[in-house]
Structure 1
Amino acid sequence: MRALLCAALFAGLSILPVLPVAHAQEAPSPGGPPPASAAPPPADDDLPQGGTLKVRVNLVNTYFSARDKGGYLTGLHKDDCQVFENKEPQTIKNFTQEKNLPLTIGILLDTSGSMQNVLPLEKDAAADFLRDVIKPKDEAFLINFDINVDLLADYTNSTRELRRGLDKAEINTGAGTGSVTGNSTPRGTLLYDAVYLATHDKLRQEAGRKVVVILSDGDDQGSQVKLKEAVEAAQKANTIVYVILIRDSGFSFGGGYSMSFGGGAMDQLTRETGGRVINGGNGKHLDEAFQQISDELRTQYLLSYTPKNPNIDGTFRAINITCGNGVKIQSRKGYYAVADSTTE
């Protein structure tokens, strides 16, 4: 089912095959790209006898940001925080601030009819954000979604190429065309399908910090993938999802179209992956919304631990991080204990 979905939506696009890689248990929520593994170097007691280095596959990496009433905290240390898995305390093995760790960003643009008048604002704000955030070791890609899901720009470090990709985005109302979902109506906004493809197909094999930023009114129509599956795909790819809600005030939501403006679905998608929903209004607050994301990315920490439960059973494990009274932690809510291969 998933394979058919990917083939239908990304038909004609160059998508790399899914190959076994040496993840250090990068299960769900926050993170980016480059290094061959997102896992920090193993401790001395993790090294096998005989000189062959094998990466521990059960090291859980979680990116998080912390803030109090005064703003984001940048001076935390390992002893300031605790991590719990399924309410059981774990031993923190690595704790670092990761503002300079390579980053992979996916920008997902809603190009359905409801975005008609705000799409130009989305393009400009996204281009400014990428120029500000992308560093020499970072990469980004662009996807637009409406009744189809299309790759506008593949992985690149060039903000010029990304701007060209953004300029290619056009509104598609589906008039006179069929829906790739197989539904009888051509109307649709395949938001969940776009999230699944961005995280499962594009980001799951990447290491480091990985972020998806969605610009949309938050309403999905016609996706084959359900919200739960989109959330799970993002969690398994260890990807933080942000949603900037933006609404075209001149668009009429008639004919049974539900204008939920995000609602609980977008809250769940972002909360479960360590991101959040940010209100972009009618486009006037887009620069401010992107700036909030940029500030959070610059103040992230990476916390790693080897779970006391060693079973690789595919179950979901809840993660809770605390760093003292009055400190609000923004991080993924858990990970899936999925088996990955080792590397030599």
Structure 2
Amino acid sequence: MLHNFVKTILSALRAFLWWNHLAPPVLAVFYFFLWHESIAFGPFLLPLGLFLLSFAGSAAFGYWVNDWMDIAADRLAGKPNAVANMKPWQRIGVTLILQALGWLPWLYLPATYQTLGLLVALYTALVVYAVPPYRFKDRAILGIVCDLCYGHLIPVFIALAAFSQLLGAKVAHAGQLLWIIAIILSLKGMRNILEHQIKDRKNDALAGIYTFVQQIGALRSAAILSYILLPLEAILLAALCLILGSALLWSLLLFFAIYAWLLFRWGYFRGSPKRWLFRLWYVPNDFYEAWLPVTLLSLATAQQPLNGLLLIAHLIIFPGTLQVPLWLLKELRDVWHQRTN
């Protein structure tokens, strides 16, 4: 019985779904400060672990509450929902545990007005997104704004506020950089939300959920993604990398060059742009989730070799980080075989 209960909880929290996507961009903030301040990670291992515990608690809480509030809608759409099979006291117990995981680490972490205010904003966004009578996920524009806040914007800003204080970091023109980062994260959030709503529009219709994509149509949403959000995000990302250091810009350009060649090798550029542009929607995610954290950790390791241990740990915890290099090696091997045979 206990085994089934634990299995149900893990299924409801869906950690394997969000951990590899949400955690690396937040960790990249810590890695950036290691590089910027040219320091080793050793003295900050405990606060880093506590921060990740808080992050995991808040992320799991968001998915948990969302599934809890989606029991009826998922039943209508014929979708499985692990929370539906749990008793009320079990749901309340899991909620309290996740709240404790999210908040208790801040008894040690820097609990400033900034970090606590952002935490309150994060949990508020998670609640109003899913819980009636607010349930912003059913309200088109409000759903997008809420999703990008709790899923992309606020977690990174919590990391910026906490780690800048922990590491004593001073970044030139911080105010202007924060605005650029906020815009990039907002574009990233809108891109991912629209992509998800386009993919899930049939289930949303069956469940009676009124999303932004249903309001304006899938084709118009796809056009916004391909011709507005994606180009703006790429331009601002390049500008941010240039400001933060030429090494980051060269890393970004190398990433785009490798990905463009891979997509060419895979035949993704055949036909008109309307037919293949949608395949570029996912490309920036691989930069944020895999390429950027490793780039920053590699730069930090070049300054402080001890950070190489953290780099190894990151590659073990997030094995998907190596996906793009493995794709590249496979294609290079195929090209070599074609030319030598």
TM-score by length of 1: 0.28
Q: Which has the higher contact order (CA 8 A, sep 6+)?
A: 1
TM-score by length of 2: 0.28
Which structure has greater helix proportion?
A: 2
